[in-house]
Structure 1
Amino acid sequence: MTGRRILVIKLGALGDFVQALGPFAAIRRHHAGDEITLLTTQPYAALARNSGYFDDIWIDERPPWWRFGTWLALKRRLNGGTFARIYDLQTSRRSGRYFALLARPKPEWNGIAHGCSHPHDNPGRDSMHSIERQREQLGAAGIADVAPPDVSWIDGDADAFGLEAGFVLLAPGGSAHRPAKRWPQDSYAALAQSLAGQGHQPVLIGAGDETARNAAIALACPLAVNLTGRTSLADLTRL
């Protein structure tokens, strides 16, 4: 493929990744003749590949700071990619470090890294909805037409679970690596009961270590539907 090499960074998580589908499509249209690579994490590789927005997918192992060999390998790969422009849709402390790994002269960079060429410098960005924030960020790089996410191509089956209209998804296992950020199990149970009392069907989602937690919530709210371990990423996206 001819044209420039473009890198997009979006590591997760699922909700954020889905909300970035609109920006992905806009970047693809803007760089129709260019080669676009996505740097993401393993859970989202298949979804990204099936989207058709990218020519290549790179997996980020998200190494801890003390794994110097992995960081050095990442530095070499980023610099060896000879990217002309990088869109940082993660805009996290980690992805900001990736900007620092790049040799000078640095490629064009759209994000919030200090000293980047196309910064999103809105001081209120952290209070914006992700879709609006990313639309404004891409505008700083000359991409004006950013549509809402299109999930019609995703092959998940939302109808397979027989859910009622107006159902509400609950993911009590979120932020497992940040216990202080995690909402208590009893609070989720109370929320599920409140939703059921208002005529909404609570639907519990998750997998693995979240099984016992969700089972306890379902026991406290018999009207809840427990889909723990039964959904793929594609199913969750369609739901």
Structure 2
Amino acid sequence: MEQTAKDIIYVLLWGDLPSTVRGLASCQRIRETYPRAKLILLTAPDYEALLKHCPYFSQIETDATATGAMAKLTAKRIKAVKPKMIYDLVGDADARRIKGGLRFSRIKWIDAAPRIREGEHPVEAAAAALGRTGMGPDQFRLGEAPSPDVSWVDYLARNSRMLEPEYFGLNGSFVLLAPAGEEVKPNLRWPRERWASLAEALIAEGLIPAIVGGPSARDTGRFVAETVREARDLTGKAKLVQLAGLARRTRFVFGEDTDLLHLLVAAGPPAAGLYPDGEPLELKAPRGASPVVLLHAPVLAQLTASEALQAMRVAGGFEESPRAA
């Protein structure tokens, strides 16, 4: 019996790491709504190494933000594929350019880009945007919308020891510490001495502190590792997918207001975020399956390592958690 071809659906998603991670919650809902469709992710190259492992998509294309002649080829290629519809989760100039290139086609363009209203978290805004397209409720109270979930890295970890804690020398229970990098002004960062004090306190609790982040956080990572012998400096040494894998096995995540914190929290561990005073923290906090405690102060140096440790206790970071499957 001849089978009919699967419906092809494009999903447009790109931006910085927080918006990309949050957008995965919308991608999951689209996949659940169209379980048999061929979902093609159209994105930018920035996070291809992470997104190519996401099981929601059948295929990934990375020329969404191409310019010049290459930009015209993007729309031409999409036309040739003849997708049933395109879900736009971005709504920026690049998305509008692609839409313009498809104006004479019969492809259904679905605007599902979040429009954040006052007092609304981006996760609720994204879920409401999908709801307005007919996919579930179109209104959510703060904290109601499904959180982004990158637990799918467990499947990759089964076949790659590079996602195992032991690959990074973490033999035993560990905590991920995510300091801000040099791109943040020193007066807006937690002093590296505080990070070292927290690392010492964690070791006294029988936990290995592992400092994670990009190359810009190396100064703090090196300082902590040199000051506290048992600490592990992983700054600049792990890819995003590896960090997501570590976050699936960690007891806790503690970090400053960094892009990376959103990915680590989406992996599911309890967490605490350290923020300077400013806009309402509940409207910018990372989202995941476990509690996230928000700490703030006019000057971050006012917060002590013991206060950070207490935040971990409140969120459940010292309770035994099951090892990821």
For residues 48 and 15 of structure 1, the distance between their equivalents in structure 2, rounded to whole angstroms, comes to 13
Q: Name the residue aligned to 1:172.
A: 181
- Residues 90/225 of structure 1: CA separation in 2 closer, same or farther (3 Å cut): farther
Report the Cα offset of residue 29 of structure 1.
Answer: 1.3
- Residues 69/161 of structure 1: CA separation in 2 closer, same or farther (3 Å cut): same
Q: Name the residue aligned to 2:65.
A: 62
Report the Cα offset of residue 37 of structure 1.
Answer: 0.8
Report the Cα offset of residue 57 of structure 1.
Answer: 1.4
Report the Cα offset of residue 32 of structure 1.
Answer: 1.9
Using the size of structure 2 for normalisation, the TM-score is 0.54
Q: Name the residue aligned to 1:153.
A: 152
Secondary structure of 2:57's aligned partner = coil
Residue 152 of structure 1 aligns with an amino acid whose one-letter code is S
Structure 2, unaligned runs of 5 or more = 138-144, 158-162, 203-208, 248-325
Q: Name the residue aligned to 1:176.
A: none
Larger relative contact order (Cα-Cα within 8 Å, sequence gap ≥ 6): 1
- Residues 161/237 of structure 1: CA separation in 2 closer, same or farther (3 Å cut): same
Q: Which of residues 29, 37, 42 in structure 1 aligns to 2:40?
A: 37
- Residues 73/89 of structure 1: CA separation in 2 closer, same or farther (3 Å cut): same
Same amino acid, percent of matched pairs: 21
CA contact (8 A) 1:196 1:202 kept: no
Report the Cα offset of residue 134 of structure 1.
Answer: 1.6
Secondary structure of 2:235's aligned partner = coil
Residue 10 of structure 2 aligns with an amino acid whose one-letter code is L
For residues 188 and 77 of structure 1, the distance between their equivalents in structure 2, rounded to whole angstroms, comes to 46
CA contact (8 A) 1:22 1:147 kept: yes
CA displacement 1:109-151 (0-9 Å, x = unmatched): 2235xxxxxxx5x5617x6433222211111122228733332
Report the Cα offset of residue 28 of structure 1.
Answer: 0.8
For residues 129 and 123 of structure 1, the distance between their equivalents in structure 2, rounded to whole angstroms, comes to 7
Q: Name the residue aligned to 2:320.
A: none
CA displacement 1:166-218 (0-9 Å, x = unmatched): 64313526xxxxxxxx423x347644444555667682411xxx3xx433334
Q: Does 1:72 align with 2:72?
A: yes
Aligned length: 213
- Map residues 1-239 of structure 1 onto 2, 5 A cutoff: 2-60=5-63, 62-63=65-66, 67-104=67-104, 107-112=108-113, 122=115, 124=117, 128-144=120-136, 147-154=146-153, 155=157, 156-157=163-164, 160=168, 162=170, 167-172=176-181, 182-184=183-185, 186-187=186-187, 190-197=190-197, 203-206=211-214, 210=215, 213-218=216-221, 222=227, 225-238=232-245, 239=247
Residue 89 of structure 1 aligns with an amino acid whose one-letter code is L
For residues 141 and 36 of structure 1, the distance between their equivalents in structure 2, rounded to whole angstroms, comes to 17
CA contact (8 A) 2:179 2:217 kept: no
Residue 184 of structure 2 aligns with an amino acid whose one-letter code is W
Q: After TM superposition, where is structure 1 displaced by more than 6 Å over at least 4 residues in a row?
A: none
Structure 1, unaligned runs of 5 or more = 113-119, 174-181
Using the size of structure 1 for normalisation, the TM-score is 0.70
Secondary structure of 2:152's aligned partner = coil
Secondary structure of 1:20's aligned partner = helix
Larger radius of gyration: 2
CA displacement 1:31-73 (0-9 Å, x = unmatched): 123221111234544543433212221122633xxx4211221
